[in-house]
């Protein structure tokens, strides 16, 4: 009996203890509501700060909702099932410092609550809904949970990561003022509210970035930068982005299907994803600049416009929409292509192509205010430049002609290329440096009223179908004592060779209205005289002399009687000049004559007594009869009659100051007499 009593006494207490453990253990894993009670704030890990007096842990719901203004600090590795932060009165803050906090279930931050990550990891694994403030000072906002901001997000430093999205609702705001390193990894931020980004740089990693949804805004108030790493997209906009401040903002991976207004400063956007969507609009304020990098595709609905400037450093940028910029447009590297149907309304007050390729295939005339070429311009569009063109290097290709209404300055030692288009000069063009290689039908045409000045011994090299030079205005060589090769030349304007030698390779055609003027100042080109010549492979009928020849005596030069000057070399010449100007030189006290000697044309000093009146020259030229006299004799008029018994009559339609008159040849070809009279 005694032994059995002892066994019963020993067994029962042990069984009761085991039963108690089995009951209490599962009860601890259940959802206990543990409320914060210390209205002075304090450490999460102090049990007396909670009711009941125990530290919330796995399976518990932590409630920091008591009235008052206080701060709860997490300094120990903590995990709870759910949490509510923020009560009806006061301000309740939870600060995560040296140790992580994990919430495995739902978490809610009320309007009076502030969740501050200040040094470690906060990881909501299911949902976080914040109507108060979520502030990231350092550390990491992590976890797989979906995060919804209905209040305010403040990102000062640290990292945001996680597999689910962060949504900023239409009534919420986000302030990004980064003072240190920051990363956005795997978690896409979708904004329907207002983001104010005042400073700082962050990198996007993984398949994520920031999306501005319709109705959402992002205000960039100063210098900032998004750096997308491989796999991330950076920034997508379907709402509105406003850039202000004077500093430069850099946004990698930019896709714009909404509206971007650059009020001031510089916004640099870029993407290497050619499939990215850009159907939105960029509006540039006065003094603002849009820089574009990467390989963006601007679709038909897109528009880049405004009074500001644009700079392109793109690998391969294409535009199918509208481009209408009032400031400077710089294409500095890579390729910029205007696709068929695009609208290049204005390419700025100054278009500068520097080491890049600009292709214009819009299908409409492109009108420019001014142009600086240090790269390549190609395409099928006609380009009309109302102001000056500065051509430093590179050139023009394609079949779109270039209308230079404000003239061209061709300068610098670098090679220039004209492969296809016709460059038409309507003003003052000066060529002082670099050779021009002409191919594929490329042509230079100097229009009536235009002046094309060769300021050195220029070289226009014809290769693979180049078409040479057509002159309707004034082509003159004013610099260089050696030989400039330009052509082959077709001339119905005026050519003045004032220095050295001008060579028209392989062919030369002077039409009846054309004039060739040669300066005489010595016995050779190197001693003050000039010469015109044709050399190369010359076929019959490829050298035509018609129109006028004018001799210019250098100031102060007085030739002697009998002096001879070789002025022109025209192998296989067809025809002769009709009119001769400058044969009488009263200031030097001499008369000159022109001598044809085989391929050479020479000027001779005929007399040291200037003529007192003009000589009359006449010849048939095509379907016309031309009479002319030296332009140095003014005040004369031409008269005609068909019978010496009849009185003389002034030629009809001849201007009073004319020294050349063209008369159509009638079918009956009557005998006519002409004279000059004052």
pLDDT grade, residue 31 (50/70/90)?
low
In a domain, 216, yes or no: no
For residues 535 and 663, membership in a common domain is answered with no
In a domain, 439, yes or no: no
For residues 601 and 483, membership in a common domain is answered with yes
For residues 517 and 538, membership in a common domain is answered with yes
In a domain, 66, yes or no: no
Q: Which residues contact 65 (CB under 8 A, 6 or more apart)?
A: 35, 36, 84, 85, 86, 87, 88, 92, 110
597, 612, 627 — which closes off a domain? 612
In a domain, 665, yes or no: yes
pLDDT grade, residue 654 (50/70/90)?
confident
- pLDDT of amino acid 463: 83
Mean pLDDT on 286-291 = 96
Q: Edge-to-edge, what's the strand order for the sheet holding 673-677?
A: 649-650, 637-641, 673-677
Between 22 and 102, the more confident residue is: 102
595, 612, 629 — which closes off a domain? 612
586, 612, 638 — which closes off a domain? 612
**Residue span of the structural domain in which 595 resides:** 473-612
For residues 602 and 655, membership in a common domain is answered with no
Helix (H, G, I), strand (E, B) or coil at 27: helix
pLDDT grade, residue 29 (50/70/90)?
very low
pLDDT grade, residue 272 (50/70/90)?
low
* pLDDT tens per residue, range 436-455: 999 999 999 999 999 999 99
Question: Exposed, middle or buried, 13 (CB in 10 Å: 0-12/13-18/19+)?
Answer: exposed
The answer on pLDDT for 18 being more than 60 is: no
- pLDDT of amino acid 524: 62
Distance CA 14, CA 20 (A): 10
Strand partners, 578: none
Distance CA 81, CA 92 (A): 20
The answer on pLDDT for 656 being more than 80 is: no
Give the containing element (helix H, strand E) for 13: helix 2-28
- pLDDT of amino acid 414: 97
- pLDDT of amino acid 15: 29
For residues 513 and 594, membership in a common domain is answered with yes
The answer on pLDDT for 28 being more than 50 is: no
Mean pLDDT on 42-59 = 96
Distance CA 637, CA 442 (A): 43
In a domain, 501, yes or no: yes
- pLDDT of amino acid 456: 97
For residues 599 and 480, membership in a common domain is answered with yes
* pLDDT tens per residue, range 167-203: 999 999 999 999 988 999 999 999 999 999 999 999 9
In a domain, 559, yes or no: yes
Longest dimension (CA), the chain: 181
* pLDDT tens per residue, range 563-589: 999 999 999 888 889 999 999 999 999
The answer on pLDDT for 17 being more than 50 is: no
* pLDDT tens per residue, range 526-564: 567 899 999 988 877 789 889 999 999 999 999 999 999
CATH code of 668's domain:
2.60.40.10
pTM: 0.87
For residues 606 and 619, membership in a common domain is answered with no
* pLDDT tens per residue, range 220-260: 998 899 999 878 889 999 999 999 999 999 998 899 999 99
Q: CA torsion sign, 543 to 546 to 547 to 552? A: positive
User: 146: number of CA atoms within 13 Å, CB side?
Assistant: 4
For residues 605 and 639, membership in a common domain is answered with no
* pLDDT tens per residue, range 485-503: 999 999 999 999 999 999 9
pLDDT grade, residue 623 (50/70/90)?
confident
- pLDDT of amino acid 465: 82
Mean pLDDT on 322-339 = 97
The answer on pLDDT for 606 being more than 60 is: yes
Number of folded domains in the chain? 2
| Lowest-pLDDT choice from 63-67, 263-267, 356-360, 612-616 | 612-616
For residues 590 and 656, membership in a common domain is answered with no
In a domain, 211, yes or no: no
Give the containing element (helix H, strand E) for 101: strand 101-103
State how far the alpha carbon of 441 is from the alpha carbons of 344, 460, 490, 511, 593, in Å. 26, 13, 15, 22, 40
The answer on pLDDT for 23 being more than 50 is: no
Share the mean pLDDT of the chain: 91
For residues 606 and 493, membership in a common domain is answered with yes
For residues 608 and 619, membership in a common domain is answered with no
pLDDT grade, residue 5 (50/70/90)?
very low
For residues 647 and 521, membership in a common domain is answered with no
In a domain, 564, yes or no: yes
């Amino acid at each position: 009996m005694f032994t059995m009593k002892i066994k019963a006494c020993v067994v029962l207490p042990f069984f009761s203890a085991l039963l108690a453990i089995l009951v209490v253990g599962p009860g601890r894993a259940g959802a206990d509501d543990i409320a914060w009670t210390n209205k002075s704030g304090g450490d999460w890990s102090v049990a007396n700060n909670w009711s009941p007096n125990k530290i919330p842990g796995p399976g518990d719901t932590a409630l920091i909702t008591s009235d008052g203004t206080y701060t709860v600090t997490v300094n120990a590795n903590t995990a709870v099932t759910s949490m509510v932060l923020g009560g009806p009165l006061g301000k309740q803050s939870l600060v995560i410092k040296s140790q992580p906090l994990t919430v495995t279930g739902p978490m809610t931050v009320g309007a009076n609550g502030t969740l501050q990550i200040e040094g470690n990891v906060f990881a909501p694994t299911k949902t976080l809904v914040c109507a108060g403030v979520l502030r990231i000072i350092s550390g990491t906002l992590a976890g797989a949970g979906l995060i919804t901001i209905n209040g305010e997000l403040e990102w000062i430093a640290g990292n945001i990561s996680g597999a689910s999205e962060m949504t900023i609702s239409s009534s919420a705001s986000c302030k990004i003022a980064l003072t240190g390193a920051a990363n956005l990894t795997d978690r896409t931020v979708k904004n329907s509210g207002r983001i104010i980004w005042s400073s700082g740089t962050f990198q996007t990693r993984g398949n994520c970035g920031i999306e501005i949804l319709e109705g959402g805004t992002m205000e960039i108030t100063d210098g900032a930068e998004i750096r997308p790493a491989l796999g991330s997209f950076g920034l997508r906009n379907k709402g509105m982005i406003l850039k202000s401040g004077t500093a430069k903002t850099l946004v990698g991976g930019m896709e714009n299907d909404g509206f971007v207004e650059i009020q001031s400063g510089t916004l640099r956007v870029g993407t290497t994803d050619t499939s990215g969507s850009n159907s939105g609009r960029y509006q540039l304020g006065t003094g603002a600049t849009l820089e574009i990098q990467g390989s963006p595709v601007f679709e038909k609905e897109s528009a880049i416009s405004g009074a500001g400037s644009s700079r392109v450093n793109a690998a391969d940028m294409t535009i199918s929409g509208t481009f209408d910029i009032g400031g400077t447009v710089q294409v500095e590297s890579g390729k910029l292509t205007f696709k068929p149907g695009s609208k290049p309304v204005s390419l700025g007050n100054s278009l500068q192509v520097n080491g890049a390729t600009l292709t214009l295939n819009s299908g409409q005339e492109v009108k420019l205010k001014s142009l600086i070429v240090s790269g390549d311009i190609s395409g099928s569009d006609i380009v009309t430049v109302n102001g000056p063109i500065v051509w430093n290097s590179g050139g023009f290709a394609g079949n779109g002609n270039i209308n230079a209404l404000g003239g061209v300055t061709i300068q610098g030692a670098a090679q220039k290329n004209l492969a296809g288009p016709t460059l038409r000069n309507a003003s003052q063009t000066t060529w002082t440096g670099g050779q021009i290689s002409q191919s594929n039908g490329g042509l230079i045409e100097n229009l009536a009223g235009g002046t094309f000045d060769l300021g050195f011994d220029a070289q226009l090299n014809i290769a693979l179908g180049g078409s040479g030079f057509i002159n309707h205005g004034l082509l003159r060589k004013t610099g260089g004592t050696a030989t400039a090769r330009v052509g082959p030349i077709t001339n119905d304007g005026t050519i003045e060779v004032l220095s050295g030698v001008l060579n028209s390779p392989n062919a030369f055609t002077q039409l009846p209205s054309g004039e060739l003027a040669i300066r005489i100042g010595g016995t050779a080109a190197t001693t003050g005289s000039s010469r015109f010549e044709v050399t190369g492979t010359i076929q019959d009928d490829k050298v035509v002399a018609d129109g006028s020849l004018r001799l210019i005596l250098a100031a102060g030069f007085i030739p002697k009687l009998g002096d001879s000057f070789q002025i022109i070399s025209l192998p296989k010449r067809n025809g002769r000049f009709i009119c001769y100007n400058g044969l009488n030189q009263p200031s030097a006290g001499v008369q000159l004559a022109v001598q044809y000697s085989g391929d050479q044309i020479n000027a001779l000093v005929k007399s040291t007594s200037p003529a007192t009146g003009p000589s009359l020259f006449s010849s048939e030229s095509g379907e016309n009869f031309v009479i002319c006299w030296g332009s140095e004799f003014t005040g004369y008029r031409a008269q005609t009659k068909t019978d010496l018994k009849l009185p003389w009559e002034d030629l009809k339609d001849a201007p009073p100051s004319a020294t050349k008159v063209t008369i159509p040849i009638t079918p009956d070809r009557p005998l006519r007499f002409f004279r000059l009279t004052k």
